[in-house]
Structure 1
Amino acid sequence: MAPTNMHATAIVLGDRGVLIAGPSGSGKSSLALALVEKFRAGNRFARLVSDDQVFLSAHQGRLVCHAPSTIAGLVEVRGGGPIPVEHEAATTVDLLVRLVPAGAVERLPEDASELLLGCKVPRLMLAEREIAVATPALLALLGARFPA
């Protein structure tokens, strides 16, 4: 079965895969780059898998993603175009982050998940274009749910 193309950005943080989804201009690339930088600053492994478009497939009940070959190793810097970066070929998805309008983010949400290609993936909704707020929130969540 052919992989499904999703408008999203995927990264590896430590041993966890994070899929960041949202409309164009919502801050997917900026959030991904900020998270990778924070992890690396703490001497932890972090890399881009794919920016803006991600191929998804299901394998043994786990969601796996990889970059389309035409954009592998590239990240779009708004106003600067695509630039080459270190990247991983693929990752399993342990967390889905949906960037949404600020008014759609619940203050105290219950644990949520989303079904993607038959795989249940934990989901976190964060305000789009609020990288300074989203980065520490996501790092705290990863530390709480996925300790090092």
Structure 2
Amino acid sequence: MVGEASFVHATALVIGETGLLIRGVSGAGKSALALALLALAEERFYFARLIGDDRIHVETYGNRVILRPHVAIAGQIERRGRGILTLPFLDAAVARCVVSIEDHALSRLPDRLEEETILAGIPLPLLRLEPGLPPHERAAGLWSDFRRMGFL
């Protein structure tokens, strides 16, 4: 059964079979993080593709959240200071995790692998990132988290 659909301001990609939704305020580094994760996946010989940048269509199908690109900008991602890039993309993926780039510092010892968020009425694991870290450092840290969570 298909549930209600909406668009969210976020970036989405898939690594292996894991659909990821990256959210944060404008300018937080969502696109840069997605590009860093795509590069890291390629470097480590994992399948990875952009789903979409800026506007992500989110809908439920049964007990799963489906991520899709906005049709007008599918395959496009902004690289700040360089303009719009066109990349290979997937039309859809099942969301397995939400990454949130926070606009404030996090506690020193958060239990990063135990948080959840609700997306389109479905609970999903939530990984919070502090602001200001370089994208490649964020990507490397997330890669370790994804492995511990069984996504890679």
Is the Cα–Cα contact under 8 Å of residues 62 and 92 in structure 1 kept in the other structure? yes
Alignment partner of 1:97 is 2:107: no
Q: CA deviation at 1:82?
A: 1.3
Counterpart-to-counterpart distance in 2, 1:14 and 1:62 = 17
Q: CA deviation at 1:2?
A: 5.4
Between the two proteins, the alignment pairs up a number of residues equal to 148
SS of the residue 1:38 aligns to? helix
> Tell me, which stretches of 5 or more residues in structure 2 are unaligned?
none
The alignment-based identity, stated in percent, is 28
Counterpart of 2:130? 127
Higher strand share: 2
> Tell me, which stretches of 5 or more residues in structure 1 are unaligned?
none
Q: Structure 1 stretches (4+) deviating beyond 3 angstroms?
A: none
Is the Cα–Cα contact under 8 Å of residues 22 and 30 in structure 2 kept in the other structure? yes
CA RMSD of aligned residues (A): 1.5
Counterpart-to-counterpart distance in 2, 1:105 and 1:39 = 29
Q: Normalization by structure 1: what TM-score?
A: 0.93
State the one-letter code of the partner of 1:123: L
Q: CA deviation at 1:80?
A: 2.0
SS of the residue 1:134 aligns to? helix
Q: Normalization by structure 2: what TM-score?
A: 0.91
Change (3 A) 1:106 1:9: farther
Counterpart of 2:149? 145
Change (3 A) 1:15 1:86: same
